[in-house]
Structure 1
């Protein structure tokens, strides 16, 4: 369903002048959720941007009706712990710390937190505690940047 929603919504978001970062779809029968992440790299995202995209996306979803029943639509900036959906997004943040949750265990584990060494469309290499792990992008359930918030706050104070 996420792929279907992405192919429907990404062109609209980009036509509105925003970067389509990604989409999360949670299909709980009582409360379906579509969470859409947008960005404007040099400027950032404000409430007005989220409202604008939300109005346009809602109108398109009403016409196309890809999700049966009721759902909640959230439009958000990626924030400091930016979600990562594609190999290209990982590649954009080489050298940064990331947390990755795999759909199934690799090397006996599903959770990895380390520095992004390299990435392409198919694989991401993370360095975790001095060891390199090659993770298949298609096997990633969820991933996001994991900046050292304390260090960032310390930098702001100086």
Structure 2
């Protein structure tokens, strides 16, 4: 997957700037694409200066990346307070938080809003509307945080 290849080549450079890659989204057609790199920090907020520094470094690396054989625009952003989760493992730091989650339940696609109770390598536990839902990793589609993380 191109997103993973981009993350792999940028990881050390972005970490060298005190940030880490939260996720990457690519949109657009076959000749021109828009690449959004979401960055974060462990114990601090992302600043405009962080985004500018990562943009300069990422642009230099990506301009020389042979697998990007198309025109592209580059955007660097923080994930924000309603952050999208790109990987189930990212959920582990948000236990007790309210999330929106899309998944399959009983073979049907559904959306749930609730409190994230537990995350393992096999499933996610979510309290929603007075019930506890156990969502298997294979039935998980996507999720995002609702509001700021409780400290």
Q: TM-score, normalised by structure 2?
A: 0.82
Shift of 1:27: 4.2
State the partner residue of 2:105.
106
Distance (whole Å) between structure 2 residues aligned to residue 42 and residue 83 of structure 1: 19
- Which has the larger share of helix? 1
The answer to whether the Cα contact below 8 Å between 1:87 and 1:122 also exists between their aligned partners in 2 is no
Shift of 1:123: 2.7
Structure 1 segments, 4+ long, off by >6 Å, are none
**In structure 2, do the counterparts of structure 1 residues 60 and 137 end up closer, same or farther at CA, with 3 Å as the change threshold?**
farther
Which 5+ residue runs of structure 2 have no aligned equivalent?
Answer: none
Distance (whole Å) between structure 1 residues aligned to residue 27 and residue 57 of structure 2: 21
Shift of 1:136: 4.1
State the partner residue of 1:131.
131
State the partner residue of 2:146.
146
CA-to-aligned-CA distance 1:91-140 (integer Å, 9 cap, x gap)? 100000111234xx333223222111111344322222122223344654
State the partner residue of 1:73.
74
State the partner residue of 1:90.
91
The answer to whether the Cα contact below 8 Å between 1:86 and 1:137 also exists between their aligned partners in 2 is no
SS of structure 1 residue aligned to 2:62:
helix
Is 2:47 the counterpart of 1:46? yes
**In structure 2, do the counterparts of structure 1 residues 8 and 123 end up closer, same or farther at CA, with 3 Å as the change threshold?**
farther
The answer to whether the Cα contact below 8 Å between 1:101 and 1:142 also exists between their aligned partners in 2 is yes
Is 2:31 the counterpart of 1:20? no
State the partner residue of 2:119.
119
Corresponding residue pairs, total: 147
RMSD (Å), alpha carbons: 2.4
